[in-house]
Amino acid sequence: MTLNDLKNPELKKWLQEWIDLCTPDAVHICDGSQEEYDKLCNMMVKSGTFIKHDKPRNSYNCRSDISDVARVEGRTFICSRREADAGPTNNWCNPKEMRTTLKGLFKGCMQGRTLYVIPFSMGPVDSPIAKYGIELTDSPYVVVNMAIMTRVATEVLKRIDKGTEFVRCVHSVGAPLAPGQADVPWPCAPMDKKYITHFPETREIISFGSGYGGNALLGKKCFALRIASVQARDEGWMAEHMLILKLTNPKGESKFIAAAFPSACGKTNLAMMRPSLKGWKVEVIGDDIAWMQFDKNGQLRAINPEAGFFGVAPGTSMKSNPNAMLTCNRGNAIFTNTAITMDGGVYWEGMDKVPEEAVDWQRRPWKPDMKDADGKAIKAAHPNARFTVPARQCPVIAKEWEDPAGVPISAFLFGGRRASVVPLVNEALDWEHGVFLGATMASETTAAAVGGVGLLRFDPFAMLPFCGYHMGDYFGHWLKIGKVNGAKLPKIYYVNWFRKTPEGEWLWPGFGENSRVLKWIFERVDGKAEARTTAIGNLPTDDALDLKGLGISEEHKQMLLECDKEGWLKVIPEMKAHFAKFGNRLPKTLVRQLEALEARLNA
């Protein structure tokens, strides 16, 4: 399909305006085919951007510029018409001023490069929950990653050409090439020229200067959360930073659970868990994002809008997440900022076998005993090194993962990293109390550099960097969802895998043993498992959790399942300060929930 084949005047005008502004040497409309993917990968091998691995098969290694290794929150903006609508958790910029800035940056920015037009679907193409987008980019790295992470297809462009709504996404690495100028393996712009901007009212994303991950793969956090959260608010559905898993008991009965955790809290590990309990099975629908809406019967149904996994590599191993490792080992992967072993394989910190030597992510010789000038171990892979791999390759991908209708959600899980106070699992008293639990999600700080050890860092619903509008209004949207007529609302739980003894020992083994908590939740949804009502919610009774074979002492069991009234009362002031940030847009319901909690704790 070419530009001349397009019939939609609005679409053609939008494309032509950007082509005229960016002045690329060529324009290519992507079709998402394997042939196109292979051709671009081979082109990047020749240019020095990619190195082909000997193993896994058909996989590539890529090293970014050392200044372009992660999302840049400080350069990420919500350009809503009114500053108040962006809220206190987002950087805001006047949309007219930002467009003026971007127009200057984009003028001639694709000289010497090809502009790729990527038509993509977030979610199965025919799903009523799916949304379409077009990303314009001058980065072939973005094209091949988007081919894995989304559903790129000519059919999507045809539907958009016929008038289907789409989100407009524009990206450039911000590094034009003068005639005869040699390119570099990873082109990007200086930090002060990087902009990741969102225009919620017009459903636009414009990104300049970075080629990395969430800054450049605009279908991911930018569309799937920041813009989609606004669409969801306006249209009455939910766009959440949640994994989706399928849990099946020994009788073959299944339930679907969605869970939100901040970073470093085991989200991907839970999505692909190998249960320790005999006869129980966990399968994955999605590891990062869930889009959900009610069907005609009031059932909340969810899809994974992504088609791949864009996972943090360091720490992923056969112990922590064997299914992620097996997914990568099947090949067709892109590894960014990992190390290359001497036999042409891939390595990062935490993998089960440490090579005697390798080439690190900055192209330097590396050995395990190497240290820097301060005596710290030199890492072979960047801490935010990534793997991009098709979800269909996962050995525990659920058969329903591409069901256009979505899967029925029975329970929501929230959680953070808390060494004290918060029990292993807590069931919300009702929907409004569950929203309160999500709104007060937090992890304890672990270093004085971020404000002091043991203080709470709040990350409501794990959406702090990703909500595209005022978070007080976002809380209100959750409360509104709970009042939908005829809705079959999921039960809500708060889990904490990270409880410790006063001496600093782990109380809970985690990993596959977390299936014991999922079993209790499964049975609670069915109305079978026992619970006791406390000031903070419904906790498992002494014998409700299956702890056989774990060797957990009675004392430690009590710590895991206690309602620590004194501890909770100490964190009430931090919760109040957290809520105060949202001003008069904080729903009064949540104020009442906090007051009720304090009253129950003091009773």
SS3 string, 339-396, reads: EEECCCCEECCCCCCCCCCEECCCCCEECCCCECCCCCECCCCCCCCEEEEEHHHCCC
Q: Are 384 and 69 in contact (CB under 8 A)?
A: yes
In this structure, what token pair is assigned to residue 374? 């301060």
Classify residue 505 as exposed, middle or buried by CB count within 10 Å of its CB (0-12, 13-18, 19+): exposed
SS3 string, 98-139, reads: HHHHHHHHHCCCCCCCEEEEEEEEECCCCCCCCEEEEEEECC
In this structure, what token pair is assigned to residue 447? 């270093």
SS3 string, 259-298, reads: EECCCCCCHHHHHCCCCCCCCCEEEEEECCCEEEEECCCC
CA distances from residue 372 to 218, 355, 360, 517, 586 in whole angstroms, order as listed:
36, 19, 14, 42, 48
Q: In this structure, what are the phi and psi dihedrals at residue 557, rounded to the nearest 5 degrees?
A: -60, -40
Nearest Cα to Cα of residue 112 among 47, 172, 177, 175: 177
Q: How many residues does the chain have?
A: 603
In sign, the C-alpha dihedral spanning 40, 44, 49, 51 is: positive
**Could you list the active site residues?**
265
